[in-house]
Chains A and B, each alone.
Chain A
Amino acid sequence: MFQWISRLVLFIVIFLFTFTAYAVSGINLPYGVTPTSREIYDLHMACFYICCVIGTLVFSILIYSLIKHRKSKGATAVHFHEHLGLEIVWTVIPFLILIGLAIPATIVLKHIHNTDRSALTIKVTGYQWKWKYEYLDQGISFFSNLSTPQDQILNNAPKGKWFLLEVDNPMVVPVNTKVKLLVTADDVVHAWWVPELGVKQDAIPGFVNENWFYADKIGTYRGQCGELCGINHGFMPIVVQVVSQVDFDKWVKLHRPNAGNEANQTLTMKPLSEKELMILGKAQYDKSCGMCHQATGLGLPPSFPPLKRSRVVTGPLDGSIAFVLTGVPGTAMQAFGQQLNNKEMAGVITYIRHAWGNDKIIINHKQPIIVQPSDIERVRRKNL
């Protein structure tokens, strides 16, 4: 029995290790692209090796006596049960090891807390369930939503490479620049975590926390929300694009609120065809609404009511628009007025009034189905 079992254990250990070697995923902390992430990595490895040494010592003594001191091998118990010297030794030695670990940890922590001059300040706000980035000096501000389509989550489409780790608007920062993050939340506690940058900072509603990173390698780094924040906690990833200073300047120029604002405004006001609206609307619905109201429009009652045959959706047009613009205070229904532009809003509302048989109800009531950006603008003005 015993032999059989030990063989089984051996087999499983070998299996696990070989599997590990072939597994695609990493098995250790990323080394990262910031000085802090590397210091953390080194500290982590140092602690790991110390644990390995202690573990080897303790377990070899244990295994030695498990093999040697068996009754079946004729071992008789030696009756010692106290030794002050030994007790002092294994109190003092671990204590010294701990001091040896605490010193580098303190140094690294001091470095992390060092908020020397930063070149760029970005305010990060956690929302249920998306992030908002505000570049304080550049005046740029945008939301960052999960961009993985619902179809992939529901297994109706093949999953992309960055399934659940992709967003519509990533945070863009220049390389070799100290970026300061001011982290806060709008509703519940979130945490902004990108392993490769070595940053995890809780976002607490009402209060601002600070953190920073200095990425020295161009690339795209991904992370996720690190604190349970409700139903879609797993669906609010973080993507940070580290680009060259030149590319960053270009990006800023493009996204400055004043740059090409006029053109943007007219562009978002241009009437669109029904087909265009539907394609735009479906994509935007997946991003902004589908998580809660579901691709089927059935929602997850009672927290998230269905949109199929909903009175609000199938009711008078201005009511529908106002509802989405202003949200419902005190519920999960947010005000999307600030988050979506007129074109996107028109698409979404056209889509939900069209889908799941809602169009038939609306036709019966002799109400329009198609919504144009100009309608949104009209309701916007009326509501303010």
Chain B
Amino acid sequence: MKPIPKSHKRLTLLLVCGVIFMFCFCYMLVPLYQWVCKQEGINGKSANSAGSAAPGMQIDYSRTIKITFTTTLHHDLKFKFLPLQQHIDIHPGERKLIYFLAENQSGKEITVQAVPSITPADAARFLKKTECFCFTQQYFLKNEKADMPVYFFIDPAVSRDIKEVTLSYTLFDVGEFIKKQKHFTQGRIDL
């Protein structure tokens, strides 16, 4: 066998670096995707953290947007989880407080996470929450009941075409993914 020429080695090394970069790039897609979703409001990613209002935000009384609330329990989770109001009308820029009722019926203590989702996708990034039980995981004792408030507004920058918005929460049992933090009961009113 002839020794491999130097130029082969250099090019090969370069290409291997490229391959390693692409493998890492695949993992970079994860934060990249989260970032894009947050900017664009895809899958309610922007609804996962506290939003802030632009200074001097004005309430736009000329428009009314109907917000519908809905909840889903993931895969036979034994919980009661309902919005106290089915829907409300809101003016862009107006702040509203609404409550969800949660009751642990699983017969054991449980940690849950509410995953928000907003439709239509084009409205998602304009629905902003200043407080929400969905920002953190929530710990429930056996048979514990709580009122879960959401404090939110619609950014007046929202497109005029948007006349209806749905805010949905899916409640997951996150026993497998408990974050290393104190058991949270933040942002809710125990009943």
What 0/1 readout, one digit per residue, does chain A (106-145) give for beta carbons within 8 Å of chain B? 0000000111111001010100000000101100000000
Contact B76 A184 (CB under 8 A): no
Given contacts A180-B164, A208-B70, A210-B120, 19 further A-B contacts (CB under 8 A): A113-B122, A115-B120, A115-B163, A115-B164, A118-B164, A123-B70, A136-B68, A182-B68, A182-B119, A182-B166, A184-B72, A184-B168, A186-B75, A206-B74, A206-B117, A206-B170, A207-B43, A208-B119, A384-B107
Distance in angstroms between the alpha carbons of A136 and B72 in the assembled complex: 12
Contact across chains for B115 and A121 when beta carbons are under 8 A apart: no
A374 and B86 CA atoms in complex are apart in Å by 34
In the complex with contacts A136-B86, A206-B170, A208-B168, A121-B68 CB distance below 8 A: yes
Question: A136 near B70 (CB under 8 angstroms)?
Answer: yes
How many residues does chain A have at the interface if contact means C-beta atoms less than 8 Å apart? 29
Contacts of A329 in B (CB 8 A): 75-76
Tell me the residues in window 68-101 of chain B with beta carbons closer than 8 Å to chain A beta carbons: 68, 70, 72, 74-76, 86
Q: Which 10 A-B pairs have the closest CB atoms?
A: A210-B119, A208-B168, A335-B76, A207-B117, A208-B117, A206-B170, A207-B43, A206-B115, A115-B120, A210-B120
A-B pair count, CB < 8 Å, reads 70
Is B70 touching A137 in the complex (CB atoms < 8 A)?
Answer: no
Q: Please, how many angstroms separate the alpha-carbon atoms of A116 and B159 in the complex? A: 12
- Which B139-158 residues have C-beta < 8 A from chain A? none
Across the interface, name the chain A residue whose C-beta is closest to B42: A207
For the complex, would chain A's binding face be called helix, strand, loop or mixed by DSSP majority?
A: loop
Q: How far apart are the CA atoms of A187 and B163 in the complex, in Å? A: 31
Interface string of A183-200 (1 = CB under 8 A from B): 010110000000000000
Q: Which residues of A contact B122 (CB under 8 A)?
A: 113
Tell me how far the C-beta of B164 lies from the nearest C-beta in chain A, rounded to whole angstroms.
6
Contact A208–B76 (Cβ < 8 Å): no
Question: A115 near B76 (CB under 8 angstroms)?
Answer: no
B162 within 8 A of A: yes
When distances are taken between beta carbons in the complex, the residues of chain B under 8 Å from A116 are 163-164
Instruction: Collect the chain A residues with CB atoms within 8 Å of residue B75's CB.
Output: 186-187, 329
- Rounded to whole angstroms, the CA-CA distance of A98 and B162 in the bound complex is 30
**Which residues of A from 314 to 352 have beta carbons under 8 Å from B?**
326-327, 329, 334-335
CA distance A208 to B167 in the complex (A): 9
Alpha-carbon separation in the docked complex, A182 to B87 (Å): 14
A3–B166 Cα distance when bound, in Å, is 65
Q: List chain B residues, Cβ under 8 A from A136.
A: 68, 70, 86
B residues less than 8 Å from A271 (CB atoms): none
Cβ-closest chain A residue relative to B45: A207
| CA distance in complex: A207, B74 (Å) | 11
Cα A326 to Cα B77 with chains together (Å): 10
CB distance from A257 to the nearest CB of B (A): 14
B residues 100-126 touching A (CB-CB < 8 Å)? 105, 107, 115, 117-120, 122
A35 interfacial contact with B, CB 8 Å? no
| Nearest residue, chain A, Cβ from B69 | A136
Residue-wise interface mask of B (164-181) relative to A, using a CB-CB cutoff of 8 A (1 in contact, 0 not): 101010101000000000
B161 touches A184 (CB 8 A): no
- Nearest chain-B residue to A128 (Cβ)? B75
Contacts of B117 in A (CB 8 A): 184, 206-208
- The residue of chain B having its C-beta at the shortest distance from the C-beta of A329 within the complex is B76
- Residues on A with C-beta less than 8 A from B120 are 113, 115, 210
Contacts of B162 on A, CB cut-off 8 Å?
115
B86 and A184 contact, CB distance less than 8 A? no
Q: For the complex formed, measure the closest distance between the CB of B29 and the CB atoms of chain A, giving whole angstroms.
A: 18
A234 sits at the interface (CB 8 A): no
Min Cβ gap A352→B in Å is 20
Q: List A contacts of B115 (CB < 8 A).
A: 206-207
Chain B residues contacting A134 (CB-CB under 8 Å) are 70
Residues B41-75 near A (CB distance < 8 A): 43-44, 66, 68, 70, 72, 74-75
Residues A182 and B70 in contact in the complex (CB < 8 Å), given A137-B86, A210-B120: yes
A114 to B164 Cα, complex, angstroms: 10
In the assembled complex, A205 has its CB within 8 A of some CB on chain B:
yes
Q: Residues of B contacting A123 with CB < 8 Å? A: 70
Contacts of B72 in A (CB 8 A): 125, 184, 186, 208
B79 CB, nearest partner CB in chain A, Å: 12
